[in-house]
């Protein structure tokens, strides 16, 4: 029972493996995002064209620039989020102690059933020859 549904059983191991794969994919995505932001940060620290472009996006103008406002409906941009946090929470369908108690109970039931069957067979063997002797006489 514990092997299948216990805290370290097959079901818990499969769930942990799936969680590990999801976390690995998320980690790769976050590393790519981090590399892109690091590259943008380095460009903002050193490249004058990147600095000017970022300044314009924030509404700043250089001395020789003129601001024009166009009333064009902006497209809805999906904001880039910081990723998704995936937390591994071990789940178990049965607590370890409950699984052990159930397995022990099933063991006792199996032993009792074996004892009853053995007793019935012994009685059948002992009464079998006597019954056949009585019929012959």
Question: Which tens digit of pLDDT belongs to each residue from 78-109?
Answer: 656 666 677 777 766 677 788 788 888 999 99
Name the residue with tokens 């998320």. Answer: 26
Q: Check if the beta carbon of residue 121 is closer than 8 Å to that of residue 113.
A: no
Q: Collapsing DSSP states into helix, strand and coil, what is residue 64? A: coil
Q: Residue 6 class from Cβ within 10 Å (0-12 exposed, 13-18 middle, 19+ buried)? A: buried
> Distance (Å, rounded) from C-alpha 53 to C-alpha 41?
13
Confidence label for 71 from pLDDT (cuts 50, 70 and 90): confident
């Amino acid at each position: 029972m514990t092997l299948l549904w216990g805290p370290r059983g097959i079901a818990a191991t499969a769930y942990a493996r799936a969680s590990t794969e999801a976390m690995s994919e998320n980690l790769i995505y976050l590393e790519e995002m981090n590399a892109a932001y690091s590259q943008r940060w380095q460009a903002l620290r050193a490249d004058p064209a990147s600095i000017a472009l970022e300044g314009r996006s924030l509404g700043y103008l250089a001395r020789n620039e003129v601001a024009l406002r166009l009333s064009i409906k902006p497209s809805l941009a999906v904001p880039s989020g910081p990723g998704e946090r995936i937390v591994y929470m071990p789940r178990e369908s049965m607590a370890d102690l409950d699984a052990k108690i159930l397995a022990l109970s099933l063991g006792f039931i199996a032993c009792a059933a074996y004892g009853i069957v053995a007793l019935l067979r012994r009685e059948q063997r002992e009464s079998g020859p006597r019954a056949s002797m009585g019929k012959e006489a």
